[in-house]
Amino acid sequence: MTKEKDAFKEFPWLTRDGNYVRINFDMMPAHMEEETRKALTEYNGVPTFTGEVKNGYPLTAVKDPSVCPCCGASTEEQTAEFIYATSAGMRLMLVPGGWFCGSCPTVIVDEQLIARGMVVKARFRRVVGVINDKTRDPMYFATWRGEKSVFIIDEDEQIEDLITESEMNAMHKSGPPSPAPSIKKERKKKKAKRKQASKARKQNKKR
Ligand SMILES: [Zn+2]
């Protein structure tokens, strides 16, 4: 108990959330990152993942997170820095929120844990990858739920969301594009014409 209290006094950007510790990178001075990461890992007692990841699965889609849904080997719960997309851009969260396969580059992610731990007021979309612990490079999921990932990128080349190919196809199949935009345009044109007409009438009155 005392150890826990001390750790939280030393690192005010850490807060407790049930059985987990929440880390606010926005509050944390940059030079403290390394130390905080170590302290958090020690506190959690969950080892840090140091390998590579290519495939992501949501925890909600697997029956048993201790078994890899990709190759059937056993997994281990580990701490990692997860990259997730929100309605306010991409964010990072360091949490013991993944079961990593010991035999292939697959992780089962507890997305609910990450969504609950968000410090920004934004809508959680999806976990899109994991930060490589050694190189600090992002490892984006090449597959999600066993399907090829499709990344939705905004004009600043930030990932807005990750969808699977079948989700994308379902979106395309949902009927022909709505005729609403052209109707709006028509209305606008009519409105503009009306405006011109009334302007002309006013001008006529002045004469
Ligand atoms: Zn595996």
Query: 32 alpha carbon to ligand 1 midpoint, in Å?
Result: 34
Alpha helices (runs of H) in the chain, residue ranges in sequence order: 2-10, 33-44, 111-117, 165-173, 180-206
- Residue 48 Cα to ligand 1 midpoint, Å, equals 18
What pLDDT score does 149 carry? 95
CA-wise closest residue to 101 among 52, 63, 68, 61: 68
Cα(62) to centroid(ligand 1), Å: 13
Q: What is the pLDDT of residues 57-90, one digit of tens each?
A: 999 999 999 999 999 999 999 999 999 999 999 9
Q: What does the block give as tokens for 195?
A: 């405006």
- Distance in Å, CA 150 to ligand 1 centroid: 22
Q: Which residue has the higher pLDDT, 182 or 131?
A: 131
Q: What spacing in Å lies between the alpha carbon of 130 and ligand 1's midpoint?
A: 16
73 C-alpha to center of ligand 1: Å? 5
Q: Which amino acid is at 64?
A: D
Q: How far is the CA of 100 from the centre of ligand 1 (A)?
A: 8
Q: Flag the least confident range among 121-135, 142-156, 169-183.
A: 169-183
Give residue-wise pLDDT tens across range 96-145. 999 999 999 999 999 999 999 888 889 999 999 999 999 999 999 999 99
For 120, list phi and psi in degrees, rounded to 5.
-100, 150
Domain limits of the chain? 46-170, 180-207
pLDDT in tens, 36-61: 777 777 777 788 999 999 999 999 99
Residue with the bigger pLDDT between 10 and 75: it is 75
Return mean pLDDT, the chain. 81
